[in-house]
Amino acid sequence: MPEPSLLNQLVDALRCLPGIGPKSAQRMAFHLLEQDREGGRHLASVLEAAMERIRRCKRCRTLSEQELCGLCAKPNRDDSLLCVIEHPSEIVAIEQATDFRGRYFVLGGRLSPLDGIGPEALGLDLLETQLQERKIEELILAISPTVEGSATSHFIAAMAARYQVRTTRIAHGVPLGGELEYVDGGTLAHAFAGRQGVEQS
């Protein structure tokens, strides 16, 4: 079977992006080839560099070129507050919408045994080490209220309880089953300000 043409390979490659179907990928490919080859070369160059050099921060697991991300390197953040989120994009949302000045921990997803996503994949061993070694007074769960999100929250809350760390979660205004990164800034600020304690079963 002959190898697909470069054009078809480009279209297929663009489909790896979220929300990009066959038609959108084809439109992007034709745009780059017909109208913006220089932009395409720049995109390819930056994309290659980003894939090679951007890793996870060794403390909070967000995306960073350095061992410590910019927020973790700041000495004036409140070490007693640790906010657990699912994705790096949610740091931007919280920083823009709230006055939170604590630290973050990025899971990179939610517990989902059926999909093979267990505690190790979310870096929960690193989180447990931080609960042991750092003087964390409050662990804030800013995890989407889906079924998997709730299971993840309960797992982390139980872990925090072993180290006598108070656990709260954001609550008001975040729709059940909603994705946190799509919640508007005002709603997110209200949810963050109205966080509640997490009951232990």
CATH number 3.40.50.620 given to 63-197: no
Res 178: pLDDT: 64
Res 108: pLDDT: 94
Does pTM surpass 0.95? no
Res 145: pLDDT: 79
Res 109: pLDDT: 93
Q: Domain 6-53 carries which CATH code? A: 1.10.8.420
Same fold: 6-53 with 63-197: no
- CA distance linking residue 6 with residue 20, whole number of Å: 19
Domain range list for the chain:
6-53, 63-197
Return the residue matching tokens 């279209």. 11
Dihedral angle over CA of 128, 133, 135, 139, nearest 10: -10
Res 190: pLDDT: 65
Which residue intervals of the chain are DSSP H helices? 6-14, 22-35, 37-53, 70-73, 89-97, 124-133, 147-162, 185-193
Average pLDDT of each block of 10 consecutive residues along the chain (201 residues)? 87 95 96 96 97 96 96 95 96 91 96 89 95 93 88 94 92 60 72 69 57
